[in-house]
Amino acid sequence: MDQAQIADFQSQLNDSADQQVLSVVPMLQSFVMISHGEQQTGVVLQGIDPQLGASGKIADKLAENMLSGHVEQLAEGQFGVILGSQLARKLNLFVGDKLQLTLPKISVTPMGVFPRIKRVTVVGIFQVGAQVDASVAFIHHRDGQKLLQVGDRYHGVQIELSDAFAADSWLAQQRTGMALNSASDTDLQWRSWTDDMGSLFQAMRMEKVIVSLLLSVIIAVAAFNIVASLVLMVSDKRKDIAVVRTLGASSSTVIQIFIIQGLAVGALGIFSGTVLGCLLAYFIGDIVAAIEGLTGVYMFDPSVYLISALPSRILVGDVLMVVAGAFIISFLATLYPAWRAGKFLPAEALRYDH
């Protein structure tokens, strides 16, 4: 996309009065290979301009997470790059070191066809505690245009929304033509950050399913405890049940008594478990930080887990769903012991009582 197409795209977004769109930034990025010594790895090279209006927001966010160096050192013509902390650790790179970029372009010379190679300098290292630390490198957008031989053009635009989790629904609106039909004469190819992180989200969904199954098994084991305790109580209270039945209590009344008692035990456990679980989930970050401070051992090494801290967010809907499921299982667990208690005949229960 050239500047005219980008301007047309921005104007159409502004005319659509879409309150979700915060900024539209020209995007320049490409897959490259970084080499240092005998180490090589593939990364996404992204061009930014710290002095360019909206893209300054990206530079500001990057500046907030710099470990060493400064974003302002990305000067045009200097061919400097800013790397993620995991990438720098993997290649044993520090600020001021030289590395080699192998671009997805070829140069035809009298000696043959060779890939385009450029020596660049590390001017900064950032860390956000995510997968970006191991897969993204930033360069001045003018230097990136020269390396990728795109002139004054860009590969597209990067749209920032007020709610990042609404990206898929916003894209669905664009694809159906609710807000935009076309921003230029060319066909648009839409991609969201969830598309780039598809494997990560699939793994997270699988983990959530597995955790839900494990939690269900734990609740089921607790329900068996309720069944066992009520069965023993029924056996122990045979005489009392017979007396109550003799005084005129019906079988349904006895069943209701044991159901209420079982639900009381289950409700107590559900309440205490919910309170303790929510407190633990809310303060889990502080607890992990305190343990790491006391032991000096990082429980979540960013080079292994791609996160530097354990995030926690209490979802009321999930909590209510677990509570409702536990309550239903507790209710079902009381039915069999209560049914057994209601089937006791007074004469049979007192016949062998001494």
Query: In tens digits, what is the pLDDT along the chain, a chain of 354 residues?
Result: 666 666 666 666 665 556 677 777 778 888 888 888 888 888 888 888 776 544 446 777 788 888 888 888 888 888 889 998 888 888 888 888 898 888 887 777 677 677 788 898 999 898 887 778 888 889 888 888 888 888 878 877 778 777 777 777 877 777 666 445 544 445 667 777 777 766 767 777 888 889 888 888 888 888 888 888 888 888 888 788 888 887 888 888 888 988 898 889 889 989 999 999 999 988 888 888 888 788 877 776 665 666 666 778 888 988 998 899 889 988 888 888 888 888 877 766 566 555
CA–CA gap between residue 65 and residue 263 (Å, rounded): 51
Residue-level pLDDT at 2: 64
CA–CA gap between residue 123 and residue 98 (Å, rounded): 10
Are residues 223 and 184 both part of a single domain?
no
Are residues 54 and 178 both part of a single domain?
yes
Are residues 212 and 281 both part of a single domain?
yes
Give the CA angle between residues 295, 280, 330 to the nearest 5°. Answer: 135
- The letter for the amino acid at 172 is A
Number of domains the chain is built from: 2
CA–CA gap between residue 64 and residue 61 (Å, rounded): 5
Are residues 247 and 120 both part of a single domain?
no
Instruction: Tell me the β-bridge partners of 334.
Output: none
CA–CA gap between residue 45 and residue 103 (Å, rounded): 10
CA–CA gap between residue 150 and residue 143 (Å, rounded): 11
The parent domain of residue 83 ranges over 3-196
Are residues 157 and 225 both part of a single domain?
no
Are residues 160 and 132 both part of a single domain?
yes
Residue-level pLDDT at 4: 65
State which of 196, 217, 240 marks the end of a domain.
196
CA–CA gap between residue 49 and residue 33 (Å, rounded): 22
Are residues 32 and 177 both part of a single domain?
yes
Are residues 238 and 321 both part of a single domain?
yes
For residue 100, the SS3 value is strand
Token pair belonging to 210: 């597995």
pTM for the complete prediction?
0.62
State which of 143, 172, 196 marks the end of a domain.
196
CA distances from 114 to 32, 41, 103, 104, 109 (A): 15, 19, 11, 11, 8
Neighbouring residues of 16: CB distance < 8 A, sequence distance ≥ 6: 179, 180
